Structure 1
Amino acid sequence: MAKLSSILLAAFSLIAVDFGPAAAAPEVRVGTLQFGTVNWELGVVAGGIDQKHGFTLKPVVLADKDATSVALLSGEVDAIVTDWIWVAKQRSLGRDFTFVPFSRSVGALMVDPAKGYKTLADLKGKSIGIAGGASDKSWVLLQAYAQKTAGMEISKAIDAQFAAPPMLNELMLRGKLDGVLNFWNFNARLKEKGMVPLITIGEILPTLGIKTSPPLLGWVFSEKWAKDNPDLAKGLIDASYEAKQVMKTDDAVWLKLRPKMDAESDSLFEILKAGYREGIPAGYSEADVTAAAEAFDLMRSIDQEAVAGLDRLPAGTFYPAYRP
């Protein structure tokens, strides 16, 4: 019996070969901005959710929005977060980029309540700051709303000032502007200083006949990359939606994210947290695709440059192979 035990131990010692450390999960390279709100979610994903879904998140920090687009076009990164208008333009050029909703957060026209502005008509002859340029989606939709509700050609009725979001906020707080149409996270900073929304883009859309507010920002990657790496593509989106649910329900995770948020005060921290949560999508459906197409047609009727000069929203702009 002792001899048999020795033989078995010897056999098991041959089997128990040291294969070294387990292979690392493959990387997914995500282009991001140093101070962008996308980083908040990426911080949660990189906390172990990425490994759970079979990949290692590798953020690639870039200088600005244009740099993220260039990085995706050149293959330097696998995915970025941007809007579906950019995706539509790329598809019209024969490229196969596609979109999965990331956020439903929308901008608003902010004013100082002390000035007593109640309607858009009150802003005639006033100076209004606009982020994103003359073809910004929110600005185009505001023009359509003003025309429909007040017969007002707002682009001529106001003094429109186009500038970067931080500059617009600074001018607003100094009293150099009467209103600012800005992105939600910059509006949060104005709200913390006592400014209020005169009208939000979310309120504008139903008035313009668009029942569902389409997600404006989404994960963007090439269909070829998703086809060649189906587990990574699905893993990225699954991880993103799992992180969103954590951020929606767990206050503790926000305390870890606070250093990334540049929130100088507790009140701003809470406003930013609430604003992010408000924009979290549960998923998406054909209703979102329809809403995006309707918004596209509406913007095209106001300003063709806002939709990159396209006649319609190209098929495949929204990724059809995945519904979270």
Structure 2
Amino acid sequence: MKMSRRAICLTVLLAAANPLALPVLANPSVAKIRVGVLKFGTVNWELDTIKHNKFDAANGIDVEVVYFAGEDATNVAILAGDLDIIVSDWLWVSRQRSLGEDLTLAPYSTAVGAIMVKEDAPIRGIPDLVGKKIGVVGGSLDKSWLLIQGLARRDNGIDLTKDSEIVFGAPPLLSEKAVSGELDAVLNFWHFCARLEASGFRRLIGAEDATEALGASGPVSALGYVFHDKWANENPDVAMSFVKASAAAKKLLAQSDAEWQRLAPLVRAEGRELEVLRERYREGIPNRPVADEERDAAKLYEILADMGGEKLVGEARQMAPGTFWAALKT
């Protein structure tokens, strides 16, 4: 249908007064969701899959990816209301809820770090780490590190912080030192572990092994898509549409090797390395009821609170109710 000259003039005037007017007139039903992520984080693989395959449009939303240099910047942005969604862990969400914020999360990935050693290393169990030089990413309050420490103390009576030499550092640096032999073992993030695995390392113990040994009934999402309850309550269909778009991307990444080949330049891997990253990502796709994950996270929270204390969890000794999005538990 042709627009009259008068209608065209009115549209131009509206656009001049409000630059957002044209897109709104063109498709008023599409809600934009601003998602803040680290520029080189693994979450980009899923978000790129959503955008490339138009899973957002298929669910009536438009995902806008906003890049940040560091995790602290994304945290500040979501608290300030400058973003709709970020990716963080349930420990941080619980702490913010305890401080009065209304953040909540939808599970994103159960993939977690592991202690890696060279394939031919004589280290076969936690007791073999005594006296060894261990690289640890994330600092002394890293959740995976605390959980593995807890397991070592309970099952072996070993305090890894005293019985081993601990070196903290950035993920790439620690991986390099492990490859060069400067470290006997390294606890790194899951994707760095996968790259090491592809280059001749093996997993000694993963954080998921520690979580289950310490009482979890299954994998617990280490990270989730985090947003405000208020935003989700005011836009329930929009929030759920994002969860559905994420699920569609995960399904494709779980089934399609071709999609991983398309992502190879973004993943910065090929051959065996890409295959291992693909398989470890797939293993980390959440597949349990959210209510079950929440119960296990609450158990782990108490263990972490005992080990990390107020520096890690603040004053709250139990995980805050509502940490996991209520709409996913019905």
TM-score, normalised relative to structure 2: 0.89
Q: Report the 3-state secondary structure (helix = DSSP H, G, I; strand = E; otherwise coil) of the residue aligned with 1:209.
A: coil
Partner of 1:251: 257
- The alignment status of 1:270 with 2:275, answered yes or no, reads yes
TM-aligned CA deviation for residue 323 of structure 1: 4.6
1:136-166: CA deviations, max 9, x gaps? 0001001111011111111110111111111
Do the aligned residues in 2 keep the contact of 1:85 with 1:308 (CA within 8 Å)? no
Partner of 1:3: none
Runs (5+) with no aligned partner, structure 2: 12-24
1:69-124: CA deviations, max 9, x gaps? 11111122100111001101110110000011000112110011322111111121
- The alignment status of 1:38 with 2:43, answered yes or no, reads yes
TM-aligned CA deviation for residue 254 of structure 1: 1.4
- The alignment status of 1:134 with 2:140, answered yes or no, reads yes
Opposite residue 270 of structure 1, the aligned amino acid is: E
The higher radius of gyration belongs to: 1
1:32-91: CA deviations, max 9, x gaps? 111111000001111211011111110001101111111111122100111001101110
What is the distance in 2 between the residues matched to 1:219 and 1:80?
Answer: 6
Partner of 2:321: 315
Q: 1:68 to 1:13 in 2, by over 3 A?
A: closer
Counterparts of 1:288-299 in structure 2, within 5 Å, are 288-299=293-304
Partner of 1:5: none
Partner of 1:164: 170
TM-aligned CA deviation for residue 293 of structure 1: 0.4
> Equivalent of 1:301, from 281, 285, 306?
306
Partner of 1:115: 121
Partner of 2:34: 29
> Equivalent of 2:75, from 40, 60, 69?
69
Q: Report the 3-state secondary structure (helix = DSSP H, G, I; strand = E; otherwise coil) of the residue aligned with 1:98.
A: strand
Q: Report the 3-state secondary structure (helix = DSSP H, G, I; strand = E; otherwise coil) of the residue aligned with 2:328.
A: coil
Partner of 1:85: 91
What is the distance in 1 between the residues matched to 2:107 and 2:290?
Answer: 10
Runs (5+) with no aligned partner, structure 1: 1-11
Do the aligned residues in 1 keep the contact of 2:290 with 2:324 (CA within 8 Å)? no
Do the aligned residues in 1 keep the contact of 2:109 with 2:286 (CA within 8 Å)? yes
What is the distance in 2 between the residues matched to 1:59 and 1:72?
Answer: 13
What is the distance in 2 between the residues matched to 1:105 and 1:268?
Answer: 17
What is the distance in 2 between the residues matched to 1:248 and 1:131?
Answer: 28
Q: Percent identity?
A: 39
- The alignment status of 1:181 with 2:191, answered yes or no, reads no
Partner of 1:214: 220
